[in-house]
Structures are given as C-alpha cells and as structure tokens.
Amino acid sequence: MKKRSGKENVRAKIGRNLFSLFILNSLVTLYLVFLLGGVVWASEKITKSHGFNFFGELTYPEDFSHLKYVNKDAPKGGDISIWSMGTFDSMNPYTRKGRAGALASAPFESLLDGTADEVGSLYGLLAESIEYPEDQSWVIFNIREDARFSDGTSVSADDVKYTFQLFLDQGLASYKAILDQVVKDTEVLGPKKIKYFFNPEASKRDAIPIVGGLPVMSKAWFEQTGARLDESRMEIAIGSGPYVMEEFEVNKRITYKRNKDYWGIDLPLMKGRSNFDTIEVEYFADSSAALEGFKSGEYTMRIENVSKNWATAYEFPALNEGKVIKKTLPDGGIATGQAFVMNLRKSKFSDPKVREAIGLLYNFEWSNESLFYGQYARVNSFWENSDLAAEGTPSKGELALLKPLADDLPLGILDDAVVTASVSGLRALDRKNLRAASKLLDAAGWVVGDDGLRRNSNGELFSLEIIERSPAFDRVILPYVDNLRAAGIDAKYERIDSAQFTDRKRNYNFDMLTTQHPMSLEPSSNLKQYFGSENSDVSIFNSAGVSNPAIDALIEYVINAENKAELKTSVKALDRALRALRFWVPQWYNNTYRVAYWDMYEHPDEIPPFDLGYLDFWWFNTTKAEALRSSGALR
C-alpha cells in the first residue's frame, strides 16, 4: 500500500472534518426546522370560548349568570296546554315519512344553543367550550362532564359523532348534501371531546353553527332498538333535554313532562327556563273547533293567527270575567315570508309574464279591509320587517354582484326598482289589475276561447288548483279563485286534510299552495334548502322548485360574506333577484303576537325581540290557577 504524504493526510483529515461538519450542520438544520415548525404550530392562534359568533359579537361574557330576558327565580311547576291541527302518526321529527307529533323534537339538545335577544350568537349547552384556529378549518367541542341523557347515561363524544353520522346517512336529502359539503371528517379525541374537520371550501360562517346545532341523541338507544332516523315510528329517541314524552293518544293529545333530574337546570343558559312540569298538546280538526275548545278550557294558551277571530270571536264569559287574558305583545323578528307559491316544476308557470299575471289577481287591500279587519301589512320581501329587505333601485354594491348574473335574471334587474306586490283597490276584483293580467297572459300565448277560458297554441287549458288544509283560508282563497277565473284561468280551490296536504306538498303534487319562507337575520347555507338548484327536487323547503344559476351564485355571496356590510349587500341583492322571479304571491304579516291565555301564567316584563317564549321562559302562578279551579272555570 502506498503511504500517504503528510499533506495528503492533512487534506483527508480536513475532508473528513468538513464532511462531519456538513452532517452536523444538516442535522442541526433539520432539528431547527422541526423545532421551529413545532413552535409555529404551538403558537398558532387557537380561540377557546364559551360560545361562537362569526362576527365576534357575543353579548354574554363567559361568567354570565343568566339570560337578561328571563326571570332567573321563576318557580318550577304547573302545566300549560296548547293546540295543534290535524293528525299525527309518528313521534320522529326527522323523517319525511308520516306526520310527526307536535314538539316531537323537544327532548333533544345540541352542543350550542342560541338566545332570543341577539343575532348570530351561540353559547355552549352540551358543550362547555369550543376551540378553533384562526382559519376555522376545524373545531373541538369539549362536552360538559355532567351532561346526561334522560335515562341517566352520560352524553359522550361517541353519541355526538353517531348522531352526526345518522343525519349524514339517513337525514333529509337536502340537509345531507349540506353536511357533506361542510364536514370533511370527525374524530373522537376522548370521552368528552370531539373534533370536526371542515372542507376548505365550506363557509366559515356556517361550519361551526351547523355541527354545533345538530341534535344529539343516544347512540345506545339506536343500537338497542335498531331504529332509523328516516323511519316513521311512535317510539321517541332518548335525548338530554329538560322534557321527555310522557304519553300520547294518536290524533288526540301528546303530553311532555319536565325531567326532574334534568342535568342542566343550573346552567346560566338555562336558568329561568323550562318552568312548566307538563306541556300538553291537544289536537283539533280545524282552527274553529280549536277556538271553541280554548273557550271551554280544553287547553290554556292560544296564539291567535286568524284576524277575524281576534276581532270578533273573543266574546265569552271567561274573558269578560277576567279569567282569560287577551293581549298583544311585540314581535321583533322577520316576517315569516308567508305566500302563495307556484310550482315552477310545472310548465304552465315557466313564463314570468304568467307568474306576474297571477300575482296581479290577488287583492290584498280588499282582503285586509274586508276580511282581516285592517290588522295586517303586506309582505313584500323575503326579509320583511328587517333592514335586509331590498329597496328602490340597486345600490352600487348590489350592482357589482348582479351585473355578472344579469343574463340569468329577469330584464330590468339592474335598472328598475325592486319588485313589490301589486296594489289593488277596495273592490274584490280590481279592473285595472285584471286588464294588466289579461294582457300579460295574452302575450304569454294563453288566449281566451269562446268558452271564456284560456288555452295555449297546443289547445291545452290553463287550469290552476290551489290546495289548502285550513278552513280559515276559505274566505281568502275563494275570492282569489274568482279573480283568476275572471281572467280566463280555469282555477279551483281544493281543501284537503292535513295528511293529504303534507303528502302532496312533500311530493310536489300541487299547482299553488300557501307556505312560509322563514329567513334569518344572518342567513347562510340554509338558503340552499329554500332556493338552491342542487336541492330543488329533494328539499321539502323549496316548495316552488326555484332553480336558477344566478340565485345559486348570490347564495354563495351571502354564505361567504366576511363582515356585516358584505352580508347586508349580498342579502339585499338576493332578495331583489328572488322577488324579480315572481314565483310567489306574498301574503301578509303582523309585527305583534296575539295572545290569549287562562289567567294563571306570568311572563317577563320585557319580551325579547326574537321569541315570545311562552313554552320556554313563562311560568305558572299556582295561586291564580287554584282560584280558577275553585271557581269551576277549569277542571
């Protein structure tokens, strides 16, 4: 072997040292990268809170003692009874099959719950706290240690995940679609800890409220019974709420009793609430029979929805003697968006001129004066009675959203004032509106024949059936049908029973019916169920079958609004576009609650703006109740 020179040995040593230094530096670099990566992860801004509001405006601090609008010392006890119309054949509120009993969802709670005096805020109910990063790509719910189901078993993260999976696999098709779009995965981190991972494209404003608002039910009960979420059944699943079902007689009554061992009775969120020992629902065939039942004391609390009744039918001895209270209380919420809607799935309604004509023929002014005793205002907006309703011509911000979508919306959307309901005179048939409607129908190709009825170029008769279940609507719809017939439309009114109405509505087997569009002051993904194309043929809420790419795009703008200014602009633009489609004939609203009750209930002096709360934070006056019973007024 050739011996290395001294110079070569030095070079070799230097080379080895340099190599060792390179390896050392590399390891140090890798270690620092790992370490710094850990530091970056550990320092990622994680919010841990007792509640959630996307816009960061929680009214109640972490240490709040009770909600401002409740009587925290309200006594527990007594009973309250209300009425419901029609029939029921199921106690499962989450299935499309059958007709669920009233208040069937009462036994169930969710991880988060809202309040009646603020918008967009959710507070921990089953969850003691939530954790989420700045980008809201996931959320952790920490379930309260003492949260219990009504059978005494602990509410666990496994129950939460199991219930979520039930809604994902067996829930309403439109709701399943939304859940699937929002949630990427779930992970149980411990007995009381669950983590939801959200899809990157999911709305940040929606994601946490959607999973936090899901009902939580007992996994063990479903596994033991083999029950499904999508089946009609008379057995009610086990929940954690303050009330459990006690008994029922099919189509007669349902009784719920307060769970004396309710786990959450001392929570600040629940103090002063769920005060009645029993809540009973009495069933009647129609509203007239129900009113007579109230007068005779068959039930004790009534919210009056018929203006004629409120004006003329509350003259009976118990009221005159002060044993029944009749009053109005303020309602600060959005109008329900009640309207006749046309089924756009039917070709006869495809032309907007036809839809406009049908709207012109309903006379609200005559109805309000002659039928409603002047108690109502007209609904014009899907966000009526709020500052989200579109007004006048589009603002600069609305135009920025509407211009790229104008080709899929009616002409004039960018320049004209927002569509409002037609105004009529005080005669049942407004001749001016009749002439305008007739011209529109002529222009749409529906021509009057020798028999006075309209047909299209194929000789098809323009027939139109309005269905309804409540006799109270007879006096409203029959004059409307007369007006439609005066315009040459072969219109008729069909009153059917509640079960038929539910079935035909769910299966879109109708021309027109009355429905509601209950919107939110912070609307988001729920809009897809009412107006989205993807769910238009499966959603039980999209009665009209609205399916329009511009509406879909505007819904996305609403969902992705990052501040209240953006939200307001996008909602106004959506409202403007929906109204321009003219698929509804808006009806009426009242910004007060009309309440009648037997004088044994108390309520807070100030009713919160968004909920009357008569089953929630009202309470029973034992002394007054005993006086009523001793007088023979009540059983």
Last residue of a domain, one of 225, 253, 279: 225
Regarding whether 167 and 250 lie in a shared domain, the answer is no
Regarding whether 580 and 432 lie in a shared domain, the answer is yes
Regarding whether 532 and 481 lie in a shared domain, the answer is yes
Regarding whether 184 and 328 lie in a shared domain, the answer is no
Q: Could you report the per-residue pLDDT of 309-322, keeping only the tens digit for each?
A: 999 999 999 999 99
Q: What is the DSSP string of 333-378?
A: SPP---EEEE-TTSGGG-SHHHHHHHHHT--HHHHHHHTSTT--EE
Regarding whether 541 and 453 lie in a shared domain, the answer is yes
Regarding whether 162 and 118 lie in a shared domain, the answer is yes
Q: Could you report the per-residue pLDDT of 113-159, keeping only the tens digit for each?
A: 999 999 999 999 999 999 999 999 999 999 999 999 999 999 999 99
Give the pair of three-digit tokens for residue 594: 């009309």
Is residue 572 within 8 Å of residue 389, measured between CB atoms?
A: yes
Exposure letters 9-28 (e unless 16+ CB within 10 A, then b): eeeeeeeeeeeeeeeeeeee
Regarding whether 470 and 382 lie in a shared domain, the answer is yes
Q: Taking the model in full, what pTM does it have? A: 0.84
Give the pair of three-digit tokens for residue 72: 């925290």
Regarding whether 316 and 390 lie in a shared domain, the answer is no
Do the domain assignments include residue 5? no
Q: Could you report the per-residue pLDDT of 426-449, keeping only the tens digit for each?
A: 999 999 999 999 999 999 999 999
Do the domain assignments include residue 595? yes
Q: Could you report the per-residue pLDDT of 362-400, keeping only the tens digit for each?
A: 999 999 999 999 999 999 999 999 999 999 999 999 999
Q: Could you report the per-residue pLDDT of 491-547, keeping only the tens digit for each?
A: 999 999 988 999 999 999 999 999 999 999 999 999 999 999 998 998 999 999 999
Regarding whether 106 and 157 lie in a shared domain, the answer is yes
Regarding whether 363 and 348 lie in a shared domain, the answer is yes
Do the domain assignments include residue 21? no
Instruction: Indicate which CATH number applies to the domain containing 198.
Output: 3.40.190.10
User: Residue 82 and residue 287: Cα distance in Å, rounded?
Assistant: 12
Is residue 69 within 8 Å of residue 116, measured between CB atoms?
A: yes
Is residue 177 within 8 Å of residue 168, measured between CB atoms?
A: no
Using a pLDDT cut of 70, give the percent of the chain over it: 93
Which of the four pLDDT bands, split at 50, 70 and 90, describes residue 164? very high
Do the domain assignments include residue 61? yes
Query: What is the amino acid identity at position 219?
Result: K
Do the domain assignments include residue 306? yes
- φ, ψ at 479 (rounded to 5°): -65, -35
Do the domain assignments include residue 233? no
Overall domain count for the chain: 3
Regarding whether 314 and 378 lie in a shared domain, the answer is no
Domain range enclosing 201: 49-71+86-225
Do the domain assignments include residue 16? no
Last residue of a domain, one of 589, 604, 621: 589
Instruction: Indicate which CATH number applies to the domain containing 572.
Output: 3.10.105.10
Taking each helix axis from N to C end, the angle separating 204-212 and 173-182, rounded to the nearest 10 degrees, works out to 120
Give the pair of three-digit tokens for residue 110: 């969710």
Do the domain assignments include residue 206? yes
Regarding whether 577 and 596 lie in a shared domain, the answer is no
